[in-house]
């Protein structure tokens, strides 16, 4: 589900931040930007440091997940519900297109099989006319 994906991203991001803190490496929005999926917003809060924001904060209704790390840091990931709705719409459209293609293929196959089955009867009718 969408909530599970946002939860998973928050867990993944907090583990990256934990690893960088343990290794005493720098943690900046530029470094973490590639770790956050496009269309999502994340805030990393570290002790005694200003929050690090990645992406642009979504407006309106959001799906949100917050995780805490071992060093007391917290990571919040947000995704707009409209993005989830769009993704569901695209998925339903793909399913509809595949179903339509299956119906077309079935119709063509039925016509072909019908012609193959009718061919001997057509030949028999032509022979009977002669």
Domain-located, residue 69? yes
Give me the pLDDT at residue 23, please.
85
- pTM of the full structure: 0.66
Considering the domain boundaries, does residue 72 fall inside one? yes
Does residue 129 sit in helix, strand or coil? helix
Is residue 121 one of the residues assigned to a domain? no
The domain of 19 spans 2-81
Does 108 fall in a domain? no
Q: Residue 62: beta bridge partners?
A: 80
The answer as to whether 20 is a domain residue is yes
Q: Find the distance separating the first CA and the last CA of the chain, reported in whole Å.
A: 69
Token readout for 8 is 């998973």
**Position 22 pLDDT exceeds 90:** no
pLDDT tens figures, 100-127: 999 999 999 999 999 999 988 888 888 8
Asked whether residue 22 is domain-assigned, the answer is yes
Higher-pLDDT residue of 24, 107: 107
**Per DSSP, what are the bridge partners of residue 63?**
79
6 closest CA partner among 52, 41, 58: 41
CATH of the domain at 15: 3.30.450.250
Q: What angle do CA 63, 32, 7 make, to 5 degrees?
A: 30
What is the total count of domains within the chain? 1
């Amino acid at each position: 589900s969408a909530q599970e994906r946002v939860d998973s991203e928050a867990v993944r991001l907090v583990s990256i931040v934990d690893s960088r803190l343990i290794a005493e490496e720098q943690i900046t929005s530029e470094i973490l930007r590639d770790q956050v999926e496009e269309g999502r917003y994340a805030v990393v809060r570290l002790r005694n440091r200003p929050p690090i924001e990645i992406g642009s904060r979504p407006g309106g209704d959001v799906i949100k997940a917050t995780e805490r790390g071992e060093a007391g840091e917290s990571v919040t990931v947000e995704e707009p519900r409209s993005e989830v709705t769009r993704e569901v719409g695209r998925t339903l459209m793909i399913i509809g297109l595949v179903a339509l293609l299956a119906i077309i293929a079935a119709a063509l196959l039925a016509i072909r099989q019908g012609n193959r089955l009718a061919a001997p009867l057509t030949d028999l009718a032509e022979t009977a006319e002669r």
